[in-house]
Structure 1
């Protein structure tokens, strides 16, 4: 079935369904897309549960508490993910070059380094300085009171969540995306059930509110760790860990992780620092407006997913083809992933623009929240084409091990442009929540310009790893 006559009408995705490159892209991307979309939907359901607590003031404080907790949590997860970027790029290269014997050692390095250097220390800091961290981010008294227990429980769950991310990143490096999808869908489903039971006190359980949501989340992450570890220990995949094989640090792997991971780590630090400062400015607008902002972020997370899914596919395929010494094929894969992902994101943008109030009303009946969040969603709709393209091309660059320019784009766009403009639009010009989202729109355009320009040079095709 061929639609080549329609190429100029924006239907290139359907040009040739037998195209092997496109088929490979879709094969890797669709399980990730399903996993991320349903994961976001489950997260949206969780937020809706909290937003529907009968006490409106407690509901707003609970939603705000989750948003505030997510800021330091995402900083920790982003640092782990930065280390995973190096692991994914190396595993994809070794897999493409048929050097599978190196893969297990890479995974062990990534897991041990992330646990010892990042996850355990950050969890301890979160548990000891809970109130100080939440207050710094902008939690007001009601959000602090409602969310203190939630914060501490989530910090414990962070230990399992980071392990899950490292194993999933390794599996995706070889294009094995169905297993992480299956595991994450199972535990997300359990998390939704656990949230309903513990938030509202169903089936004889105590009514714990937002603290119950934290318990359910942490337990779900622990179950996912057991399932993923069982899978790779049993040797059902090329990605495996054997406790019988002695481990020793490898200088070449450490060098590659530093070369690829340090810029990726700095990028994530810049991203999360910028987002934290951004969130703190918005939190100054009050708990109800911050709850509206958090709902907008929750819906925005849904729109991230096509870009992230196809970005992961681009990373895997770029790394594998460069490992096989096929740079032109790597570029072809990157362009195809961008085209497909961008079309999906554009479709989602239409929904956000025209059906914003209906989406927001699922979270809260509060007219102030509905009005503010709906306005933010119109800006989010305009962001979509730039956001998706930037995610996917940056994924291709990371898969090649070229992590410096994504760092430059994020540092400039988020830490400088977004934070400065948010301060100007919100605190000086008084535009409120819509001003904050106008800053996000400009930030996304800036980041897209940097990443697209770097991709066009083709220099990423010549990055070497040991």
Structure 2
């Protein structure tokens, strides 16, 4: 079988590596927006209920991400260092670890879903809709955990198109399933949010099957499944956790802070909750450029660090940052100019359109700050500097984002505008601190690979 790991990812252009990631993320966002848009034709309350349930799911996905993040970085560094066998060990251990973790969290969501939603101060009229959605999608959360892990493996080997094609298929199936189950097409029952949950879970399951096929074709020769039966993979788990737990800590802190902020917004009423869902769905299209560039840069920096090309890694991050900031700002400005027309696609409620339009204007300031965090933090992780972003993230997210959201939004009565101001401050403060850290080059001594004796540092 062809040795696919010989592809020199470190010498690939950012564009060649990133455009499939961009399309993949775009399709993921289109899937979420398709859910929102199609549900909005059914019932605005269903949109709010699903939005809150997905806030919980985003935290769960972050928890799956701690293994996937470690997988991406370790495989990238090992392949860059020409240590394909070690990369294979990491791959098989990460697949099994995230499967077990996913099954545990799926059971947790199914059993304790109502308790979690109640703790988020969800309005009573939204509870039944949100609960059944959370139990169905959450019950299949283990499928998403495997998708993330397999996708990380194939992308770390440079095959970013594979994940893109799988997401394309899932997106098409999801839209078709939404049409059938939301509106009762072809004689099917009209199920609303429940139909969205069924469609989402079914399309992800089929996508996982196809992704396994891609994995087999691309890297099967470097997946030593027998390694798991030879001994307990203590060293590989240690490495994954060493990277993944701090990396997930930053993401988990962000999502937990967003859940608290969602609690504040719930105090403002259903209109505020619905407006936030629509606004976030729209601005994610501006954000996706920075997300894609950040992920592509992480893979490139990981390979360059593995090859000991540290100065090239340093410059790669800075070039990617300015590209991400420029494109994200342009996209945010475009959405702000067309804000009324775009929001009118989702709703005809004039209060939602007016408030959502103000939020889109503020997003012009918000997006460049996000680009700092998405590109520079990913580069720091890829280089081995995984703890600093967590420390800064926790301090600023809770000290600024949560505190200012409550103060400006609730106490000063600015509502969602106060929340958006808090988000701007949070992203820019963290972003500038991350850039300062990258320029300090303290990460140069933090690689996870010891090139001298083929063992890991740590």
1:36 aligned to which of 25, 30, 41? 25
Q: Show the counterpart of 1:231.
A: 214
String of CA shifts for 1:335-380, please: whole Å, max 9, x gaps.
2222222221121121122111111111111111111111111111
Contact 2:73 2:381 in 1 (8 A): yes
Cα 1:230–1:245 shift into 2, 3 Å:
farther
Corresponding residue for residue 412 of structure 1: 395
Matched residues in 1 for 2:61 and 2:93: separation?
17
Counterpart contact for 1:22–1:333, Cα < 8 Å: no
For residues 120 and 268 of structure 1, the distance between their equivalents in structure 2, rounded to whole angstroms, comes to: 21
Unaligned regions of 5+ residues in structure 1, if any?
Answer: 1-19, 54-58
Verify: 1:256 aligned to 2:239, yes or no: yes
Shift of 1:102: 1.5
- Give matches, 1:2-401, under 5 Å: 24-53=13-42, 59-116=43-100, 118-233=101-216, 235-237=217-219, 241=223, 243=225, 246-247=228-229, 248-401=231-384
- 3-state SS in 2 of match to 1:208: coil
Contact 1:91–1:170 under 8 Å retained in 2: yes
Measured after TM superposition, the shift of residue 447 of structure 1 is: 1.2
SS in structure 2 opposite 1:139?
coil
Change (3 A) 1:21 1:222: closer
Distance in 2 separating the partners of 1:61 and 1:223: 29
For residues 224 and 21 of structure 1, the distance between their equivalents in structure 2, rounded to whole angstroms, comes to 28
Shift of 1:300: 2.4
* 1:170/1:239 contact within 8 Å kept: no
Cα deviation, residue 50, structure 1: 0.8
Q: Structure 1 stretches (4+) deviating beyond 4 angstroms?
A: 20-23, 242-246
**How far, CA to CA, are the matches of 1:239 and 1:179 in structure 2?**
17
Closer, same or farther: CA 27–207 of 1 in aligned 2, 3 Å: same
Contact 2:93 2:228 in 1 (8 A): no
1:126: Cα distance to partner?
Answer: 1.0
Classify the secondary structure of the residue corresponding to 2:132.
Answer: helix
Q: Secondary structure at the match of 1:206?
A: coil
Q: 1:239 to 1:374 in 2, by over 3 A?
A: farther
Distance in 1 separating the partners of 2:11 and 2:422: 35
Please report how far the alpha carbon of residue 263 of structure 1 lies from its aligned counterpart in structure 2 after TM superposition: 1.1
- TM-score (norm: length of structure 1): 0.91
CA contact (8 A) 1:86 1:401 kept: no
CA distance in structure 1 between the partners assigned to 2:335 and 2:57 by the alignment = 27
Aligned partner of 1:56 in structure 2 is none
Does the residue aligned with 1:431 lie in a helix, a strand or coil?
coil
User: Helix, strand or coil for the counterpart of 1:362?
Assistant: helix
Aligned partners of 1:149, 1:304: CA distance in 2, in Å?
30
Displacement of 1:244 in angstroms is 5.3
Q: Deviations over 1:409-428 (max 9, x none)?
A: 32123222111111101211
Question: 1-side partners of 2:125 and 2:189: how far apart?
Answer: 21
C-alpha contact 2:396 2:426 (8 A) present in aligned 1: yes
Provide the rounded CA distance (Å) in 1 between the counterparts of 2:355 and 2:103. Answer: 38
Q: Give the direction of change, closer, same or farther, for the CA distance of 1:428–1:128 in structure 2 (3 Å limit).
A: same
| Range with greater deviation from structure 2 (399-408 or 424-433) | 399-408
CA apart distance, 1:22: 9.3
- TM-superposed deviation, 1:242: 5.4
CA contact (8 A) 1:338 1:393 kept: yes
Q: What is the alpha-carbon distance in structure 1 between the residues aligned to residue 276 and residue 11 of structure 2?
A: 37
SS at match of 1:284: helix
Change over 3 Å in CA distance of 1:351–1:22 after alignment to 2: farther
Matched positions, count: 440
| 8 Å CA contact 1:87, 1:107 repeated in 2 | yes
How well do the aligned residues superpose, as a CA RMSD in angstroms?
A: 1.8
Structure 2 unaligned blocks of 5 or more: 1-8, 449-455
Deviations 1:114-149 (A, max 9, x none): 232x32222111111121111112211111122221
Aligned partners of 1:238, 1:449: CA distance in 2, in Å? 42
Distance in 1 (CA, whole Å) between partners of 2:225 and 2:111 is: 33
Once residues 223 and 25 of structure 2 are traced to their aligned partners in structure 1, the CA distance between those partners, rounded to angstroms, is 26
d(CA) in 2 for partners of 1:304 and 1:159? 26
